[in-house]
Amino acid sequence: MLGNNLQYSEYDRVDKTFYDRIDNKSSFGELRLLQSYLQTLWNISSKLSFTAGINFMHFNLNGSSSLNYSASGAYNFENGNNISISFGKYAQMLPIGTYYTNIENRDLSLMNSLKANIAYGWQIQNDLKLSIEAYFEKLSNVPVSKDGVNYWMLNDLVGFSTEELVSDGLGRNYGVELTVEHFFNKGFFMLASGSIYNSEYSLGDDQYYNTRYNGKVNSSLMIGKEITLNNDNVISLSFRNLVFGGQWYKPANEEISKIIREYFDDELSFLAIQNKTYWRSDFRFSYRKNNKKNSWIIALDVQNLFNISNTRDEIWNIKLQDFQHENQVGLIPIISFQVDF
């Protein structure tokens, strides 16, 4: 059994300049999340294994509880291939700040998730493996606004909601991922993966919308090569490429944005605008000198090698009196030197 305990004190006002508490305590108490576990592993044979478990959670702040479970099975074929299947129900306490904003949201339930996935792996060669995985996840008890504002807590980037919330939100994630892995052999390694997926949320009705992170596609590639010289010194070369579908955001409330001179989104709208696809490539070159009592490495890292202008959400440009996209960091070269004793 595990238990997490947090003591808290609340104050009516805080001096914003010095962050001093200037009022007496308005309330105090403790948060406790109690959990109990039971898990079993059954090796039916040298090829077939089965794992199952249950977990009970109780949150003392509002008395909410959840009985969770999980099970998985794996089978290894004689040729090195393998297949695995898993499913389960899981629960999670919300970020603590969610319960203690200026509006009390202490009656929110534990957030729940139902997950299932199936994976198959092909051992093509001793140093080369291909894997494919399909998954589905259903979310429930996600906090949403009680007053009709299009708010779903898991779309938050930072901070906490100041809305009155209820645990009526839903979500679903599903997709397929393909991975190719070349294990380190003869100074070379490679890892490539790509996925097609969908991530949607609902405010509790039958309407589903894109979550902020529903980029639809993701891919990554990492390649590395080590060259050992005659004197056992090493030259290393590596390359990484990332391609992610852009995040979604709400359109602006133009009237309010002009008045307050910053981007203010339309609270009643859903996430209807998608940023451009994120693309970034990194390169690293290093030389390692091995001595009897120490070694040193000099390296050049180039982040965003092709200086791609990846965009963030829109901002309100005061000078132009118009909206514009803010770009993320461009090409960054970094030279480093390291000594190991």
Whole-number pLDDT of residue 6: 56
Asked if residue 24 lies in contact with residue 10, where contact means CB atoms within 8 angstroms, the answer is no
Q: What pLDDT digit, counting tens, does each position of 62-120 carry?
A: 889 999 999 999 999 988 899 999 999 999 999 888 887 767 788 899 999 999 999 99
| CA dist., res. 97 & res. 143, Å (int) | 13
What's the fold here for domain 34-206?
A: Maltoporin; Chain A (2.40.170)
Q: Is the pTM of this model over 0.85?
A: no
Q: What pLDDT digit, counting tens, does each position of 201-245 carry?
A: 999 888 999 999 999 999 999 999 999 987 779 999 999 999 999
Whole-number pLDDT of residue 68: 96
Q: What pLDDT digit, counting tens, does each position of 4-32 carry?
A: 555 555 544 444 443 444 344 444 557 78
Whole-number pLDDT of residue 26: 47
Whole-number pLDDT of residue 9: 53
Asked if residue 108 lies in contact with residue 167, where contact means CB atoms within 8 angstroms, the answer is yes
Residue ranges per structural domain of the chain: 34-206, 215-341
| CA dist., res. 281 & res. 27, Å (int) | 51
Q: Which helix (H) or strand (E) holds 258?
A: helix 254-260
pLDDT average, residue stretch 267-284: 91
| CA dist., res. 67 & res. 90, Å (int) | 8
pLDDT average, residue stretch 275-289: 94
Three-state DSSP at 79 gives coil
| CA dist., res. 278 & res. 247, Å (int) | 9
| CA dist., res. 238 & res. 224, Å (int) | 4
Nearest to 118 by CA among 76, 74, 70: 74
Q: What pLDDT digit, counting tens, does each position of 172-186 carry?
A: 999 999 999 999 999
pLDDT band at 341 (very low <50, low <70, confident <90, very high): confident
φ, ψ (nearest 5 deg) of residue 61:
-60, -40
